[in-house]
């Protein structure tokens, strides 16, 4: 079972506060970041599918705008 969390909706901003670094060549005037990730409470049998999911999460975060983070949480029991 998978659950997806958009960290941006929880008020989390990966580059806020003291990390808001200036970027003179950006229209936004500071560095922004997009993050895609996946967590799993056990060692998966198929690492490639996890990497693919994290990559898809990254592109989804980028599509939503600046300073977004999308993380999929793999839930369930450890594979046997």
Q: What share of the chain is helix, strand, coil (3-state, %, to 5)?
A: 30, 25, 45
At residue 1 the predicted structure's pLDDT band, cuts being 50, 70 and 90, is very low
Give the pLDDT confidence score for residue 68 in this predicted structure: 84
* 71-52-70 Cα angle (round to 5): 15
CA–CA separation, 68 and 45 (whole Å):
29
CA distances from 2 to 5, 21, 25, 75, 80 (A): 10, 34, 39, 6, 18
pLDDT in tens, 3-23: 555 555 555 555 555 567 778
Count of beta carbons in the 10 Å neighbourhood of residue 31: 14
Give the model confidence (pLDDT) of 49-70 as tens digits. Answer: 889 999 999 999 899 888 888 8
> How much is the pLDDT for 14?
52
- pLDDT tens sequence across 26-40: 787 777 788 898 888
């Amino acid at each position: 079972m998978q659950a997806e969390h958009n960290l941006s909706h929880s008020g989390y901003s990966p580059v806020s506060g003291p990390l808001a670094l200036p970027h003179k060549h950006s229209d936004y005037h500071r560095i922004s970041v997009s993050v895609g990730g996946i967590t799993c409470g056990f060692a998966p049998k198929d690492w490639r599918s996890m990497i693919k999911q994290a990559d898809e999460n990254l592109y989804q975060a980028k599509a939503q705008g600046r300073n977004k983070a999308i993380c999929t949480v793999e839930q369930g029991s450890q594979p046997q």
